């Protein structure tokens, strides 16, 4: 056998191996139900057969049967009981990123987004916002949207670090704006801006007209915004490290309530700078920086990665970022 024949023989051998591998993969994929990957993803999120069944609108027995098939497929328990729920095994955590990525790719090419013309679009956009962002930025965002897309409808929905992941996963909101904690790895986010914190108070009920001293601040009764019902937060932990404590008497879930509580009283509200400046201007109150150092907050714009390439979601994010930056400049000027 000459050199050319040897090379051709080797090439044919490699082609046969590749064909055999492709046939093996095809048989395995044909035998696998892709719905099992969906069940796995939901189980990972819910960590409960009952919760997964409700989310998928099927019976618990159907989810249990799918879990049994998943365990056989991957040769691993995947989820083990812990209290009333389940926790994923190490193998489940290892395959989660690949499965989520695969599901996102399948969704992307199966449900290709339609072309999008803002001037003609009549879709409804749902923006999740904490109410400080709603007060500060929603009017500017609405103006920007109406200028470019006059037929679009907008719904602002309340979100916080407590429910943003659920709201994005369920599609209740297209994007979310707030200071969020750690998001899931199937969510994306972008920091919108950096801002400090300050005090909102009625200058007629405090000796200091321009800036509260630390002594005056600590002597004043406090009102805070609390999403989880706790009457302490980041500021209290910072004060505790300095071995001092403030007196928090009132908690509310909405920044919009603060000026109505502060006005005509000796209450002091500690809050982010932008909402503090806007509320002070709109309600004839005073605003000053806190009399101690606090790390700045980082409000973010968050969305589900399944919408990364969606033209409507991309356009909405661009409009929001531009409107936020423009409004910040006006507030701080």
Lowest mean pLDDT across 3-12, 177-186, 216-225? 3-12
pLDDT at 295: 93
How do residues 190-224 score in pLDDT, each as one tens digit? Answer: 999 999 999 999 988 876 657 888 999 999 999 99
CA distance 144 to 56: 37
Indicate yes or no: pTM above 0.85.
no
Question: What long-range pairs does 110-117 form, CB within 8 A, spacing at least 24?
Answer: 113/309, 113/310, 113/311, 113/312, 115/311, 116/311, 116/312, 116/315
pLDDT at 20: 55
pLDDT at 284: 94
CA distance 211 to 203: 9
Burial class for 302, CB neighbours closer than 10 Å (0-12, 13-18, 19+)? buried
How do residues 232-277 score in pLDDT, each as one tens digit? Answer: 888 999 999 999 999 999 999 999 999 999 999 999 999 999 999 9
CA distance 246 to 217: 8
pLDDT at 112: 60
């Amino acid at each position: 056998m000459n050199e050319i024949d040897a090379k051709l023989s080797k090439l044919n051998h490699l082609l046969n191996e590749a064909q055999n591998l492709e046939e093996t993969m095809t048989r395995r994929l044909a035998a696998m139900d892709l719905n099992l990957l969906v069940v796995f993803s939901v189980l990972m999120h819910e960590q409960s057969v009952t919760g997964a069944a409700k989310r998928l609108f099927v019976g618990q027995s159907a989810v249990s049967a799918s879990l049994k098939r998943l365990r056989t497929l991957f040769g691993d328990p995947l989820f083990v009981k812990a209290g009333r729920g389940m926790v994923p095994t190490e193998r489940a955590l290892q395959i989660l990123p690949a499965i989520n990525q695969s599901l996102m790719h399948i969704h992307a090419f199966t449900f290709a987004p339609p072309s999008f013309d803002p001037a003609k679009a009549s879709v409804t956009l749902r923006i999740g916002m904490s109410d400080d962002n709603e007060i500060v930025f929603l009017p500017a965002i609405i103006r920007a949207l109406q200028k470019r897309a006059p037929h679009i409808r907008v719904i602002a929905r309340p979100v916080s670090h407590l429910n943003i992941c659920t709201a994005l996963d369920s599609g209740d909101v297209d994007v979310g704006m707030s200071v969020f904690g750690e998001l899931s790895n199937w969510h994306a986010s972008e920091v919108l801006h950096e801002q400090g914190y300050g005090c909102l108070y009625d200058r007629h009920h405090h000796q200091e007209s321009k800036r509260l001293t630390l002594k005056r601040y600590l002597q004043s009764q406090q009102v805070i915004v609390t999403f989880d019902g706790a009457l302490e937060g980041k500021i209290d932990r910072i004060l505790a490290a300095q071995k001092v404590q403030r007196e928090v008497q009132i908690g509310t879930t909405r920044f919009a309530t603060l000026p109505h509580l502060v006005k005509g009283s000796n209450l002091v509200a500690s809050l982010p700078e932008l909402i503090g400046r806007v509320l002070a201007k709109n309600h004839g109150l005073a605003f000053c920086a806190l009399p101690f150092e606090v790390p700045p907050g980082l409000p973010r714009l968050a969305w589900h990665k399944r919408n990364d390439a969606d033209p409507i979601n991309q356009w909405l994010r661009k409009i929001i970022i531009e409107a936020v930056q423009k409004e910040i400049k006006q507030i701080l000027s």
